[in-house]
Structure 1
Amino acid sequence: MQFCLAPLQEIAPAGFQLPANACDTHAHVVSDDTNAYPFVANRSYTPPGAPESRYLSMLERTGMQRGVLIQISVYGDDNRYMLDVLKRHPDKLRGIAVVRDDVTHAQLQQMHEAGVRGLRINVLFGGGTGFDAMENLARKIADFGWHMQFLMDARQLPELLPRFKQLPVPGVIDHMGHMPVAQGVDHPGFRAMQQLVEHHGWWVKLSGAYRISEDFPEFRDVVPWARALIATNENRMLWGSDWPHVAISRMPNTGLLLSQLAQWAPNADQRNKILVENPAALYSFGR
């Protein structure tokens, strides 16, 4: 079992002026109380505590006024801690849950009222829900206006495209496809990701640069990758910190990760879309 590094206490200031209502669309909370909120046995790693108070401090120090919490895999489909945090901040936070195939409409309704706006499919870490449940869950959430979020390696996309195109809800791809940028933007997996964004209304999270690059800590090789995604459709791009940065061997500075967005999207109007307008639309902030 991999024991994770703790996120850095230091958070560097962003290298650009953040717009009002900027949103970090990808982070996790982990309770310090492992008795009240136990981890699942089949998890791939063991994270340190990353409780609500420290998460909110991270948002404030990075200049974010809104946030989206993603159910972390170590809790499996026990969404209680995330939901507890969401309920305390209904104007500021939204969430993405993990459920099993037999989830009921009433359970989904309760999650919606708490601020959940999508479900996560995770095939990379233990504790997640996989592709087998995808179509059934998509049908169950369609009437809520939710989406499905995918933690997967984009190299799997070409074979999955026929199924993805038939889903009755849009998809969001985590961490720019979670495939090494060394594969290049001409790789069929990257092209498939662009196709979903361009023609099927899907979204991509400009997050997790340290998961797809070997160039720590500058991640210069990610610049053309991120720019190619933004050029595909800037109205379908989101930014996320991926705090507290679990299951990695070297810990990045969260503030420096945010600063890199200025390299990927040099235009302030683009950054406003990525940080404010796009997440407001996808996660129904302000309404």
Structure 2
Amino acid sequence: MSDAPLCLPPKPLGALPRLPVGACDSHFHVFEAGAPLASPRSYTPQILTIADWQPYAEAAGIARGVLVQPSVYGLDNGVMLRAIARDPGRLRGVAVVAPDISAGALRELDAGGVRGIRINTRNKAGVALEAVAELLGKVGPLGWSVQFQVRAEQLADVAALEHGEVPLVLDHLAFIRFGEADTGERLDALRRLLDRPNICTKISAPYRLTARADYADVGAAITALTASHPHRLLWGSDWPHTELWDGMPDDGDLLSAYEHWLPDPQLRQQIFVDTPNSLFFSR
């Protein structure tokens, strides 16, 4: 356990601001008691299931959700698929797969509600960036997207990918660290990517990106991006906020911050409803 410490649990659920009607949580994780964990891994999760996410979704007015395969399960997508099967009309998934996965296995995942794959260079047991070239041609015909949990300095590597019409989605503002000397340079690199067709970013997990307790620097960047790239943004809760050992955020405070950063109802509709639904729920 010394190399995979146990995460904090989320804070008890209080009153939450309501999201726009039809809102989609485009990034959250669930875990299952007894499911084998990868070793080595970056953290040990609290056991929180789809039944634990549902009260949060109900309180916030979340109509749909996209489960993202966490690194602690490696290539075994079973926990995620079983969660989707609990409510297949409302849930979709982003899987982690090996580059040599067969077309038949991908079709099975598609039938189980998967609509994308995840590349993760930040966590142990993730799939590396080098796998993308082989996977793009396999997932493209399915209409899936490719999600990237990468470090901000890898934005140039993402920019160099020949992805055709396959949508690319960057998790958590590409993990740009705010308040550092290169923040402006990294934001410019992100904007250049968002200028391209079919590239989006999730405006999620501000607590991972700044030392500020109010996340105001991240919020200012999100507000600016809504002015320049409103159709390239989507929101996710990042629930249950894994890989935190102190400073667990309050879900009500987080949603209130997004109300402040995104006051325009039309922009909220685009970011919370339209863009994620287009990416994950077109069928």
TM above 0.5: yes
Does the 8 Å CA contact 1:155/1:190 hold for their aligned counterparts?
A: no
Distance across 2 between alignment mates of 1:27 and 1:238? 13
CA distance in structure 1 between the partners assigned to 2:135 and 2:235 by the alignment: 25
Q: Distance in 1 between matches of 2:252 and 2:185?
A: 32
Name which of 228, 249, 253 aligns with 2:250: 253
**Kindly, what percent of the aligned residue pairs are identical?**
36
- Per the alignment, residue 10 of structure 1 pairs with 13
Cα deviations by residue, 1:3-45 (Å, 9 ceiling, x for unpaired): 210111223311xx422211111100011x22xx110011111
Query: TM-score normalized by structure 2?
Result: 0.94
Counterpart of 1:128 in 2: which secondary structure?
Answer: coil
Asked whether the equivalents of residues 237 and 278 of structure 1 are also in contact (C-alpha less than 8 Å), the reply is yes
CA contact (8 A) 1:156 1:189 kept: no
Contact in 1 for aligned 2:75/2:98 (Cα 8 Å): yes
Residue 235 of structure 1 is matched in structure 2 by 231
Aligned to 1:223: 219
* Distance (Å, rounded) in 2 between the aligned partners of 1:11 and 1:159: 41
Which runs of structure 2 are paired with 1:31-50 in the superposition (5 Å)?
31=32, 33-34=33-34, 37-50=35-48
How much does 1:160 deviate? 4.0
- Deviations along 1:148-200, whole A, 9 cap, x unmatched? 0000122221244222xx11312100111212111378633222211121123
Letter in 2 for 1:180: R
Query: Would you say the 8 A contact 2:26–2:276 is kept in 1?
Result: yes
Runs of 4+ off more than 2 Å: 183-189
CA–CA separation in structure 2 for the residues paired with 1:208 and 1:283: 20
Paired positions, count: 278
* SS of corresponding position for 1:280: helix
Long gaps (5+) in structure 2: none
CA contact (8 A) 1:26 1:242 kept: yes
Residue 202 of structure 2 is matched in structure 1 by 205
Give the Cα–Cα distance (whole angstroms) in 2 for the partners of residues 4 and 244 of structure 1: 10
Between the aligned partners of 2:41 and 2:61, the Cα distance in structure 1 is: 32
Please state how far the C-alpha of 1:231 moved relative to its aligned partner: 2.2
Gaps of 5+ in 1: none
Q: Is the 8 A contact 1:185 1:191 kept in 2?
A: no
Q: Distance in 2 between matches of 1:69 and 1:159?
A: 26
